[in-house]
Amino acid sequence: TDQLRKYFNDNPDYGYQLIKIFDLKGEKKYSIDEIFEFISDNEVDEIYSSVAEVNNQELTKLIEYADNNLKILKFLPDNKEIYSKKLDFTYYGYLPILSMRRIPTDEPINLFIKRSFDIFFSLVVIIGILSWLTPILGLIIKFESKGPIFFKQKRNGLDYKEFYCYKFRSMKPNPEAHLHQIRNVLKGDMSVVGPRPHMVSHTHMYAEKIDKFMVRHFIKPGITGLAQVSGFRGEVEDDNFITNRVKYDIFYLENWSILMDLRIVFKTVFDALGGDDKAY
C-alpha cells in the first residue's frame, strides 16, 4: 500500500490522483460501509484493496459494491514471492481459475514443437556424429582402462520420475563424465534443452534445502539449459550457486520458446568450441 501511494504521488502525469487511504484494522479503522459512503460522495473511479487486509465477508461486500456502482476494483497482492510471477488466468467453463504459473510446454502445440525439435536434433547427432564417433571413443576408452564403454545412472526427470541416464565412461567409471549419450533425448526421457538433471541422491538433498527446487520437474530435464549458458554450470559450488541455477530453470520453464531453445543450443556449442572447461 505504501509503495502504491508513493507511485501515485510521484507520478501525477500518469493521471492518477490518490484521494484517501483507509485502514480496516488499525486504531483509526473504518468500517466497510463508511468507506463505501466516502467513495460515493467523492465520485472515486478506482478502488485498490490490499488482499491481506480484508476478510471474506468484506471482500464479498467490496466486490458487490464495485460491480453495482460501476467502480473499477483492483487488488494489491501481499506476497511478493508469489505474485511477482506470471500467473495464469483461465476459465473452466464459466469458473475463473488462477494458476501459480503458466508453463508454455503444457500447451499441446508447444509440446509438439519441442518434442519434434528434440527428435530432429537427436537424430542429427546420432546419425551425423555418434555413428562414427562412438566406435572411436569406444576403442580409446577400452585401450585406456578396463570397464564398460557406457555407464548408466539414475536421474530424476519429468514429474520427479526416475530414469536411467546413459553416458560414455571416462578413463574410470565417473558419474560426472562430460560427454552425454543423446539416446535419452530420442527415448523421450530428456529434452535437448531443459533443467540439468541431478543424481537422485543430490535431488533429494537439494529438494530439502533449496526453495522451489522441485519446480524444475514440471518439464523434462535437458542436456543443456538456460542456467548452464548463464554461468551456472558444472560442479555445484555452494547453496547460492544451486539457488541461482533453480531461478534460471524456473524462468526457462515459465518463458519457453523454440527461439530460446535455439539460442541456448548455439550458446552451448559456442562455449564448448571456445574451450570452456564447464561447457557441458
Query: Does the pLDDT at position 234 exceed 80?
Result: no
Q: What is the pTM of this model?
A: 0.69
The 10s digit of each residue's pLDDT in 193-220 is: 999 998 888 888 888 888 888 989 999 9
Q: How far apart are CA 142 and CA 140, in angstroms?
A: 5
- Which range among 10-14, 53-57, 247-251, 260-264 has the greatest average pLDDT? 260-264
The 10s digit of each residue's pLDDT in 108-131 is: 999 999 999 999 999 999 999 888
Query: Does the pLDDT at position 245 exceed 70?
Result: yes
Query: Does the pLDDT at position 132 exceed 50?
Result: yes
Kindly report which listed range (5-9, 53-57, 141-145, 170-174) carries the lowest average pLDDT score: 170-174
The 10s digit of each residue's pLDDT in 220-230 is: 999 999 999 99
49 vs 79, which has greater pLDDT?
49
Q: Which three cell numbers stand for residue 43?
A: 465520485
Give the chain as a DSSP string: -HHHHHHHHH-GGGT--------SSSTT---HHHHHHHHHHTT--EEEEEGGG--HHHHHHHHHHHHHTT-EEEEE-S-HHHHTS--EEEEETTEEEEES---GGGSHHHHHHHHHHHHHHHHHHIIIIIHHHHHHHHHHHHHH-SS-SEEEEEEE-GGG-EEEEEEE--SS--TT-SPBPTHHHHHTSSEEESPPPPBHHHHHHHHHHSTTGGGGGGS--EEE-TTGGGT--SS--SHHHHHHHHHHHHHHHHS--HHHHHHHHHHHHHHHHTT-TT--
Query: Does the pLDDT at position 146 exceed 80?
Result: no
